[in-house]
Structures are given as C-alpha cells and as structure tokens.
C-alpha cells in the first residue's frame, strides 16, 4: 500500500459537525489510513474528531485523536509530542484546519480587526505552527511530505471576502518556502480546491435548499458538478506518497477547470 509504515497527522480532520457529514480533513484521514498510514486526527471538535478515528478503526486502520487548537502553540507542540510518544515517528503532515468564524464576509474597511486577526491566527498561523513543530520530527523520522490544503481563493477572490483569500495566498507562499528550505528531506505541496461540498457549509438550509444551492454553484463549473471531499483526498494521498516523488513546491488547483475558464461567450 502507498502509505505502509507511514505515520500521518491531519489537522481539521473531524467529521462535519451536524451528523458526521463530509469534511476534507476527515476524507483525507480515511484515504491515508486506507493506504496503510497510522493517522493522528487533530481538531478542536472532540466528538466528531473521535468519530473520524472510530471510522478508521472500523475499516481495520489505525488512528488516534488528539484535541488541539492550531492557534495555541502549547497544544500544537503537545500534539506533535503525543504523536512521537504513540508512534515514534511522523512522515506526513496535512494542514487542513480552518475557521470561518466571525464577521468575515466583509471588505478590509468593514471587517472587525478581531475577526481579521482570528482568521489569520487559525487559518494561516495554524499552518505555520504545525509545520514549525512537526518538521523536526519529520526530519528525525527520515523525511517525508507536507500537504497544505489551500484554496482557489488564493488566485481569485469573492467580493467582500478579504481575509480568507489572504491566508490562502500566504499558505501558497509558505508552501514554496518550505519546499525549498527542507528539500530534499521534505517535499511540500499545496492543494487549491474550488467549491467542495462539505457538511459544515450547509448551515440550516433544508435538503431542498441545499440541492438548489449546490446546483447553482455547479452551473459555474466546467464539469457541471461540484467537487467531493474524496476527490481532494485523492490528490492529498498522491502528494503525500511516493507517486508524486518529483513534485515539490507546487500549488495544484483542483477545481474542474473553473479557474482557467472564461465566462465570456461568443
Ligand atoms: N469546502 C470548500 O469548498 C473548500 C474550498 C477550498 C478550500 N477549502 C479548505 O479545506 C480545508 C478544510 O475545510 P472544509 O471545507 O473541510 O471545512 P470544515 O469546516 O469541515 O473543516 C475545518 C475543520 O477545521 C477545524 N478547526 C477549526 N478551527 C480549528 C482550530 N483552531 N484548531 C483545530 N481545528 C480547527 C474545524 O473544527 C473543522 O473540523 C480548509 O483549509 C478550507 O479552507 C475548503
């Protein structure tokens, strides 16, 4: 299997909050586990984080839940320590945790500074912290891979949605600097998804409303459907394992061709 004898840590890997629905982090954890990795599942959501591990175990895999807030240095360091205590090594870090809390659908004038700072601290600094404290263990383990879940928002921007794209553009830069500074022992790449259907963004919509909402978004994509969490997890596995052995410092757009398509019609 592609991740045999490998230890992976995935942040933001709880299942979706409502009913254990899809999330990119949990799908990635399942995928890595299905290929033989022992997976450390990190999240602030205990119940749904444990459910990810339960599902890994149900399928015969090995996993461990560690509750850690990526915005807290001591918790991040502890998660890395717990990984070492339990598995001895770490070969793959997938940074995926992100917050959408606060009044963030605002332009730079209107966004409250506390909300700006919160998103920077979780969505960008969380990736920095985990990378900073995981790299020594990855090096000690003989090297490995880092996969950063970025976003198409690093390249194009929605109106009045300023801070999230800033974190994702910065994550792409972070990805490239890690790729250069820690090669050849560590390869670091990013995935930039377009819209991916997850449980947490469905909010309080009814099933009917969700269907219409997704159908409207799908129309704007050349493939005429939205991405599934498994389609992102497949790319995460590819970047995590030796199948991508000569790919380093890349930010791969996984959006069914939307970014390169033009809405202009002749
Ligand atoms: N869903 C999409 O359309 C989409 C598109 C592009 C990029 N992304 C990116 O994919 C990643 C995963 O998001 P998702 O869409 O699966 O959403 P999600 O809400 O299901 O996952 C985010 C996870 O991060 C966890 N989290 C939040 N704050 C945390 C903290 N301080 N410490 C630890 N964990 C924390 C949440 O509890 C949640 O489980 C994010 O980086 C997101 O920006 C998502």
- Give the CA radius of gyration of the chain: 18
Structure tokens at 49: 């984080």
Bridge partners (DSSP) of residue 43 are 67
Residues in the chain: 266
Question: Nearest to residue 6, comparing CAs of 42, 33, 24, 25?
Answer: 33
Nearest-atom number in ligand 1 for the CA of 153 is 6
Distance 98 CA to ligand 1 centre (A): 4
Task: For residue 138, give the CATH number of its domain.
Answer: 3.40.50.720
| CB-based contact 205:266 (threshold 8 Å) | no
Number of H helices, E strands in the chain: 8, 7
| CB-based contact 139:87 (threshold 8 Å) | no
Question: What whole-number distance in Å separates Cα of residue 58 and Cα of residue 212?
Answer: 34
Inside any domain, residue 140: yes
Q: Which residues line ligand 1 (CB under 6 A)?
A: 11-12, 14, 16, 23-25, 43-45, 69-71, 96-99, 122, 149, 151, 193, 195-196, 198, 200
Distance 30 CA to ligand 1 centre (A): 16
For CA atoms 15, 21, 24, 30, give the dihedral sign. positive
Inside any domain, residue 111: yes
How many independent structural domains does the chain possess? 1
Inside any domain, residue 265: no
Which H/E stretch holds residue 169? helix 163-181
Tell the residue nearest (CA) to atom 20 of ligand 1. Answer: 23
Question: What whole-number distance in Å separates Cα of residue 186 and Cα of residue 239?
Answer: 12
- Catalytic residue at 164? yes
Question: What whole-number distance in Å separates Cα of residue 257 and Cα of residue 139?
Answer: 36
Indicate which residue of 17, 164, 221, 246 is catalytic.
164
Nearest-atom number in ligand 1 for the CA of 97 is 24
Tell the residue nearest (CA) to atom 32 of ligand 1. Answer: 69
Distance 96 CA to ligand 1 centre (A): 6
Question: What whole-number distance in Å separates Cα of residue 145 and Cα of residue 188?
Answer: 6
Per-residue pLDDT of the chain (266 residues; tens, 9 = 90+): 999 999 999 999 999 987 789 999 999 999 999 999 999 999 999 999 999 999 999 999 999 999 999 999 999 999 999 999 999 999 999 999 999 999 999 999 999 999 999 999 999 999 999 999 999 999 999 999 999 999 999 999 899 999 999 999 999 999 999 999 999 999 999 999 999 999 999 988 999 999 999 999 999 999 999 999 999 999 999 999 999 999 999 999 999 999 999 877 78
Inside any domain, residue 264: no
Inside any domain, residue 130: yes
Inside any domain, residue 261: no
Question: What whole-number distance in Å separates Cα of residue 189 and Cα of residue 246?
Answer: 11
Structure tokens at 137: 């263990």
Inside any domain, residue 148: yes
Tell the residue nearest (CA) to atom 34 of ligand 1. Answer: 43
pLDDT for res 265: 78
Distance 266 CA to ligand 1 centre (A): 38
Label each residue of 37-48 as H, E or C: CEEEEEECCHHH
pLDDT for res 214: 97
Distance 265 CA to ligand 1 centre (A): 35
Structure tokens at 77: 């360091």
Neighbours of 181 (CB within 10 A): 10
pLDDT for res 253: 98
Inside any domain, residue 182: yes
Nearest-atom number in ligand 1 for the CA of 24 is 16
Torsion angle, alpha carbons of 137, 191, 29, 213, to 10 = 150
Question: Nearest to residue 125, comparing CAs of 11, 9, 216?
Answer: 11
Q: Which domain holds residue 75?
A: 7-254
pTM for this entry: 0.98
């Amino acid at each position: 299997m592609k991740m045999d004898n490998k230890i992976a840590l995935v942040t933001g890997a709880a299942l979706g909050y409502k009913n254990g629905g899809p999330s990119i982090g949990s799908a990635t954890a399942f995928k890595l586990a299905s290929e033989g990795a022992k997976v450390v599942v990190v999240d602030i959501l205990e119940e749904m984080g444990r459910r990810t591990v339960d599902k890994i175990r149900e399928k015969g895999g090995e996993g461990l839940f560690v509750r850690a807030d990526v915005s807290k240095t001591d918790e991040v360091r502890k998660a890395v320590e717990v990984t070492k205590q339990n598995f001895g090594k770490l070969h793959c870090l997938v940074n995926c945790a992100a917050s959408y809390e606060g009044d963030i659908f605002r332009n730079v004038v209107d966004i409250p500074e506390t909300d700006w700072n919160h998103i920077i601290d979780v969505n960008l600094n969380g990736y920095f912290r985990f990378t900073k404290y995981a790299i020594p263990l990855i090096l000690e383990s003989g090297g490995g891979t880092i996969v950063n879940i970025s976003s198409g928002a690093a390249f194009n921007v929605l109106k009045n949605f300023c801070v999230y794209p800033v974190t994702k553009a910065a994550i792409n830069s972070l990805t490239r600097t890690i790729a250069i500074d820690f090669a050849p022992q560590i390869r670091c790449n990013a995935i930039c998804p377009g819209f991916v259907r997850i449980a947490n963004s469905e909010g309080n919509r009814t099933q009917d409303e969700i269907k219409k909402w997704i159908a409207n978004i799908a129309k704007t994509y050349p493939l005429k459907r939205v991405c599934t969490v498994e389609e992102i997890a497949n790319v995460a596995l590819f970047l995590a394992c030796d199948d991508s052995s000569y790919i380093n410092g890349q930010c791969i757009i996984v959006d069914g061709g939307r970014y390169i398509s033009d809405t202009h019609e002749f």
